[in-house]
Amino acid sequence: MVNDPEYDLSLAEVKLEAYDFTYEGQPIQPRVIDVINTVGYHPGIEWNFDIQYKNNDAPGIGKVIIKPKSSSIYFGKKEIEFTIRDKSGNVPTVDPNKPHVNANLKSVSIKLNRQEYNPDDAITATAVVNPNTLTGLRYEWEVTDGKYLKKLGINQPKITINADKIYNGKQLKLTVFYKEEEVFNATQLIITNKILPDAPTVNPPPAINPNPDAKPPVVNPNPNPLPQPTPPTTPIEPNPNPIVPPSRPDPQPEATIQDVRFEVKPQYFEGETIEIVAITKFDRQPKTTVTYTWYLNGEQLSSSQSPTLTIPAKLEYDNADLFVSAEHNNKKISSEHKTINVVKKDESISTSNQKGFDSQNIIMISAISAGVVLLGLTIALIIRKFKR
C-alpha cells in the first residue's frame, strides 16, 4: 500500500556478506544476502531491487546503494557502508571536500575552432582535460545564459553544433564526471556572441515617371465636404426571454480503489491448474483499467490488466506465500497474504482408501460383536429351558 512503512526500503534491515575487505586492485562489490522489512518479511532481492556501488575502487569507505525496481511495490532507498583496507590493513582518511576520484585532475577548459561565426557555420568545441591521461570520464555539454538551458546530450570530449541564431549571446558549459561523481566544471565561454547579424533591409529606389509631360491629376476642390445626414435607425430591443443553453454537469472524478482480495482452495493437487481471481472494490464505477501484479514468496509472477492468475500446481509451491497488488489511477494497494497448499494426488487417494478401510473394519467388528451377543443370549435361553 502506498506510503505503508512495511514497503519503505529505508526502514528495512539489509545484510551484506561481509563489511570489511582488502583492496586487491579490483572494485569491491559486497553481495547483498538478505532484506528484512518492518514486519519481518524477506522480499526477493533479485525481483524487487537494483543494487549499485559507490567509492568501491580504492581503499576507503565504500557504499552499497539499494533501490526498488520500477515493478516493485517498495519505495525509498537504502545505503550501507563497508570498509576497504589497503594491503597494510589501513583505511586512508579522505577529505570530504576533495574526493579521491578527482585528486589528480588539475583543470578543465573548452577550446573553440573559431572566434566568430555566421548563422550557418559549425561550432566545434573540444574539452581540454589536464592531465589528459584519465580514463572513464563522462562529458555533459549545455548551452545556457542563466535562464535558458538546453542539454545537448552528447557524451564526447569533442562536439560540433550549428551556430544557430537562438544561441546568440548564450554560453557553452561543460561538466566532467568520473564514475558518476561531478569532477569539474569548465569555465563558461560565450560561444556565439559574434554571430554576424542578418543583412539590413534595403528599400528600393523611387519609381521614375515615364511621362513627365503628362497633365497632373485633377484635385478635388473641396477636400473636406460636409458629412451627409444618416437616416434614423430603429433601436433593437433586447430579448426579454433569451435562450440560455443548458449547462453541462461537472465531470465526475475518477473512482478511487479501496480494497483488493482473493480466495484460494484448501489444497491443490500436483499437476492441476491453479486459477485465482482478484476482486477489487471502488467507491464508484472506475473509468480506467487496473493493473494486477501477483507475488509468490516475494517474487513477481505476473503483471497485467487481467485480474486472473493462472499457474500450474507444483509441489515446490506448497506452503508458499501469495498476494496481489492492484494499481489504479496512480494508487497502489495490496491484498492480505495467503498460503497455497499443493499435495500429490496419489497421497490424497491413499489417505481416502485408508479412511475407507478403517470404516469397513469398524463395521465388521460391530457386526461380529452383535453376533456374539446374540449367540450368548440364545445359549442362555436354551440352558434356562433345560433347567425347567
pLDDT digit string, tens, across residues 327-344: 888 888 888 899 989 898
Q: With helix as H, strand as E and coil as C, how does the chain read?
A: CCCCHHHEHHHCEEEECCCEEECCCCCCCCCEEEEECCCCCCCCHHHHEEEEEECCCCCEEEEEEEEECCCCCCECCEEEEEEEECCCCCCCCCCCCCCHHHCCCCEEEEEECCCCCCCCCEEEEEEEEECCCCCCEEEEEEEECCCCEEECCCCCCEEEEECCHHHCCCEEEEEEEECCEEEEECCCEECCCCCCCCCCCCCCCCCCCCCCCCCCCCCCCCCCCCCCCCCCCCCCCCCCCCCCCCCCCCCCCCCCEEEEECCCCCCEECCCEEEEECEEEECCCCCCCCEEEEEECCEEEEEECCCEEEEECCHHHCCEEEEEEEEECCEEEECCCEEECEECHHHHHHHHHHHHHHHHHHHHHHHHHHHHHHHHHHHHHHHHHHHC
- Residue 99 reports pLDDT greater than 50: no
- Residue 103 reports pLDDT greater than 60: no
- Residue 270 reports pLDDT greater than 80: yes
| pLDDT number for residue 294 | 86
- Residue 13 reports pLDDT greater than 70: yes
Count of Cβ atoms closer than 10 Å to residue 176 Cβ: 20
Burial class (CB in 10 A: 0-12, 13-18, 19+), 254: middle
Give residue 199's pLDDT band: very low, low, confident or very high (50, 70, 90): very low
- Residue 143 reports pLDDT greater than 70: yes
Please give the residue that has the higher pLDDT: either 124 or 357. Answer: 124
- Residue 356 reports pLDDT greater than 80: no
Side-chain-facing half-sphere of 88: CA atoms under 13 Å: 4
Distance between CA atoms of 363 and 357, rounded to whole angstroms? 10
Grid cell digits, residue 301: 509472477
| pLDDT number for residue 186 | 66
| pLDDT number for residue 359 | 54
- Residue 118 reports pLDDT greater than 70: yes
Grid cell digits, residue 315: 509441489
Q: Which amino acid is at 216?
A: P
Give residue 45's pLDDT band: very low, low, confident or very high (50, 70, 90): very high
- Residue 95 reports pLDDT greater than 90: no
Give residue 257's pLDDT band: very low, low, confident or very high (50, 70, 90): confident
Average the pLDDT over 219-238 and give the result: 61
Please give the residue that has the higher pLDDT: either 303 or 114. Answer: 303
Q: What percent of the chain has pLDDT over 70?
A: 68
- Residue 69 reports pLDDT greater than 90: yes
Give residue 66's pLDDT band: very low, low, confident or very high (50, 70, 90): very high
| pLDDT number for residue 278 | 87
Q: What are residue 324's DSSP bridge partners?
A: 294
The answer to whether 191 and 172 are in contact (CB under 8 A) is yes
Give residue 77's pLDDT band: very low, low, confident or very high (50, 70, 90): very high
Please give the residue that has the higher pLDDT: either 1 or 132. Answer: 132
pTM of the entire predicted model: 0.30
| pLDDT number for residue 339 | 92
Nearest to 184 by CA among 253, 138, 119: 138
Q: Which domains does the chain have, with CATH numbers?
A: 5-85 (2.60.40), 104-190 (2.60.40.10), 257-343 (2.60.40.10)
CA 53 to chain CA centroid, nearest Å: 20
